[in-house]
A = this chain, B = another copy of it.
Amino acid sequence: MPKQTFLNLEEGKRKRITDAFLREFAIKPFDEASITVVVKQLGIAKGSVYQYFEGKQDLFMYLVQQCSMVKHRYVASVNRSDYEDFWTYFRALYEYGFQFDSENPLESHFLHNLAENLDSPSIKHLYKEMLQQAVRAFEDLVTYEVEQGLFRKDISIKTMGFQLYKAGVSIQEYLLFTGVINPQQSIQKEAPVFQGKKQEMLQVVDEYIQLLRPAFNKL
């Protein structure tokens, strides 16, 4: 998606540019994120951006893809088969999420803002696509548990998958709501979202698990 010109760039410069745009898109919805502002910060010409990318959407999709790739490396290292119980697996996902966050704060911030970002009318189509992908992943998790006889059978996979996905989102929003995390502030300090908040975060995860287990588990 980026043009060859961008890929030919010296890595340092490429990273400087990527990071600056991550910062911008991490704090503004797509339609309000300004290329003009970022190029001024970077001290490069606006024309350059259009040498690197086809346009704003192309640039944005590149950022999504990059961040997803990085995060996926962390999530994929957690295997359901290493855990007896679904919820310890679920918890482990958050622990590796924390790892991802502390090692890639910028990418983490960007992904944190992604949902709000995608609300912009110009990219509503992207939103549906990505939501579907995410929900499907959770449906797969649920399907497996049902097949193993661990999750209830009397609720449709679709509903359970969706609700589990939403529960995950909910946890983030709860941490935000209660002020445990403060992305707006963290990003200014270039600090990870969860810096120094691992225990508090996991406590919330544990409470959510305690709440949701009887909803999903058989019996």
Contacts and interface: CB of A to CB of B under 8 A. Distances in A.
B162 A29 contact: no
Given A158-B178, A214-B215, A163 B32 contact: no
20 contacts: A29-B29, A29-B31, A29-B120, A32-B120, A32-B121, A119-B119, A131-B177, A155-B210, A156-B207, A158-B178, A159-B174, A160-B211, A162-B170, A162-B173, A162-B174, A166-B166, A166-B170, A212-B215, A213-B215, A214-B214
A210 to B, nearest CB: 6
A170 B215 CA distance: 15
A121 B173 contact: no
Contacts of A160: 211
Nearest to A207: B159
Indicate how many identical chains form the complex: 2
Interface string A147-162: 0000000111011101
Sorted nearest first, the 10 A-B pairs with minimum C-beta distance are: A215-B215, A214-B214, A166-B170, A116-B119, A155-B211, A159-B207, A119-B119, A162-B174, A211-B215, A214-B215
Interface string A176-219: 01100000000000000000000000001001101111111000
Interface in A48-87: none
Determine chain A's interface SS by DSSP, over half rule: helix
Contacts of A131: 177
A159 B208 CA distance: 8
A93 interface: no
Contacts of A214: 214-215
Given A27-B121, A159-B211, A162-B170, 11 more contacts: A28-B121, A29-B29, A29-B31, A154-B210, A155-B207, A158-B178, A160-B211, A163-B174, A163-B208, A212-B215, A214-B215
A167 to B, nearest CB: 8
B163 A170 contact: yes
